[in-house]
Amino acid sequence: MGGPASTGATAGGCEQRGFFSLEEVLALPGCPDLDELRGRRLAVVECGHEIPCDPCQTACPTGAIAVGDDITALPRLDASLCDGCGTCQPVCPGLAIFLVDMTRDDGLAEIWMPHEFLPLPEKGERVRLRDRAGEVVGEGKVRRVRHGARLDRTAIVHVLVPERLAMVVRALEVTR
Amino acid sequence: MRRVDVAVVGAGPAGLCAAAEAARHGCEVALLDENATAGGQLFKQIHKFFGSRAHRAGRRGIDIGAELLDEVAGLGVHVCLGAPVWGLYEGRTLAVAEDDHSWRLAAGAIVLATGATENGLAFPGWTLPGIMGAGCAQTMINVHRVLPGRRVLMVGSGNVGLIVAYQLLQAGAEVAAVVDVLPRVGGYPVHAAKIARAGVPVLTGHTVKEVRGDGVAEEATVWAVDDAFRGLPGSERRIRVDTVALAVGLTPMAELAWLAGCRMGYVPELGGHVPFHDARMATSAPGVFVAGDVSGVEEASSAMEEGRLAGVWAAAAAGKVTEDRAAEAAEPHAAALDGLRGGPYGVHVRRGKQALADGVATAQVQVLGGGGV
Amino acid sequence: MTRRVLDHPILGPASARVPVTISFAGEPLEAFGGEPVAAALAAAGVRVFRRTSKRGEPRQLFCGIGRCTDCVMVVDGQPNVRTCVTPVREGMKVEVQDGRGVWERPRGDSGASRPSGVSPEDWAARSGAGQ
Angle between helices B159-170 and B134-142 (to 10 degrees): 30
CA angle B357, B363, B364 (to 5 degrees): 70
**CA–CA distance, A25 with A76 (Å, rounded to integer):** 12
| pLDDT tens-digit map of A23-41 | 999 999 999 999 999 999 9
The residue type of B216 is V
Q: In this structure, are residues B197 and B215 in contact, taking their beta carbons and an 8 Å threshold?
A: no
Residue B2 CB coordination number (10 Å): 15
Task: Write down the ipTM of this complex.
Answer: 0.93
Report the candidate in A63, A53, A121 with the shortest Cα–Cα distance to residue A91: A53
CA distance B50 to B59: 8
Residues spanned by the domain of A87: 5-173
User: Which residue, among B47, B52, B167, would best test binding to A if mutated, counting the most A CBs under 10 Å from its CB?
Assistant: B52
User: How far, in Å, CA of B371 to CA of A52, rounded?
Assistant: 38
For the cut 80, the answer to whether the pLDDT of residue A18 exceeds it is yes
pLDDT of B187-206, one tens digit each? 999 999 999 999 999 999 99
Contacting A with CB below 8 Å, chain C residues are 7-10
Pair type for strands A65-66 and A76-77: antiparallel
CA distance B214 to C47: 11
| Position A153 pLDDT exceeds 90 | yes
| Range of lowest pLDDT (B3-12, B95-104, B322-331, B355-364) | B355-364
Which one-letter DSSP state was computed for residue B146?
B
Spatial distance between the Cα atoms of C38 and B78, rounded to a whole number of angstroms: 30
Burial of C93 (0-12, 13-18, 19+ CB in 10 A): middle
**What is the C-alpha to C-alpha distance for residues B14 and B8, in angstroms, rounded to an integer?**
9
In total, chain B counts a number of residues equal to 373
- Looking at the predicted structure, is the pLDDT value of residue C129 above 90? no
Q: What is the pLDDT of residues B8-43, one digit of tens each?
A: 999 999 999 999 999 999 999 999 999 999 999 999
Cβ-defined contact of A134 to B201 (cutoff 8 Å) = yes
- Shortest CA gap A120–chain C (Å): 8
DSSP codes joined into one string, B336-350: HHHHHT-SGGGHHHH
Which carries the bigger pLDDT value, residue B361 or residue B8?
Answer: B8
Instruction: Answer whether residue B54 shows pLDDT above 80.
Output: no
CB pairs under 8 A between A and C: 10
Report CB contact under 8 Å: B103, C128.
yes
Cβ atoms of A131 and A22 within 8 Å: the answer is no
Question: Which residues in chain B are closer than 8 Å to C127, comparing Cβ atoms?
Answer: 101-103
Q: How far is B174 from B198, CA to CA, in rounded Å?
A: 10
Structural contact between residues A71 and B51, judged by C-beta atoms closer than 8 angstroms: yes
User: Domain tally for chain A?
Assistant: 1
Nearest CA to C69 out of B136, A1, B63 is that of B136
What band does C104 get if pLDDT is binned at 50, 70 and 90?
low
Q: Tell me what the mean pLDDT of segment B66-73 comes to.
A: 96
Residues of chain B found within 8 Å of residue C36, distances taken between Cβ atoms: 144
pLDDT of residue C122: 54
Distance, in Å, from the CA atom of A102 to the CA atom of A113, rounded to the nearest integer, reads: 15
What is the spatial distance between Cα B107 and Cα A158, in angstroms, rounded to a whole number? 57
Helix (H, G, I), strand (E, B) or coil at B123: coil
Report which secondary-structure segment, H or E, holds B141. helix B134-142
**pLDDT tens digits, B291-337:** 999 999 999 999 999 999 999 999 999 999 999 999 999 999 999 99
C7–A116 C-beta distance less than 8 A: no
Chain B residues with beta carbon closer than 8 angstroms to that of A132 = 193, 196-197
Chain A residues whose C-beta sits inside 8 Å of any chain C C-beta:
116-118, 120, 153, 155
Amino acid at B90: E
